[in-house]
Amino acid sequence: MLAFYPLDFSPICTDQLSLYQEVLGELERRGAALVGISVDSAFAHAAFRRELNLTMSLLADFNPKGEVSRAYGAWIDAVDHGNRSLVLIDEDGIVAWSYAAPTPLEIPGANLIFDALEA
């Protein structure tokens, strides 16, 4: 599961990744891996992971800025950063499911991830 989010250390992103960390063990027990993606650098990601005690991988969509987010339809040109989006990639590397929050102010709940895994 790819979890796109706007920026490390912003209040809503902190809440979002903390929530996902809380359910990470259950996701892994169901055979899923969760990877966070934002436009921050690898250095910012390392500090963010330490600060929040995150164990999931965080990928830096840093240069060229937003290229991966754009490729998965998780980019908002008007604000120049990624949206809060979830993308489930199946075992064959195919997008099996995706969700884009209507606004970057809305956190996609963990229930969406579990529902997508069950579908």
103 is catalytic: no
Contact call for residues 52 and 14 (beta carbons, < 8 A): yes
- Selected catalytic residue, list 1, 2, 3, 13: 13
Tracing tokens 């040109």 back to the chain, one arrives at: 77
How far from chain centre, in Å, is Cα 30? Answer: 18
Contacts 24+ apart (CB under 8 A), 14-19: 14/52, 15/107, 16/84, 16/107, 16/108, 17/48, 17/52, 17/54, 17/56, 18/52, 19/107, 19/109, 19/110
Give the active site residues. 13
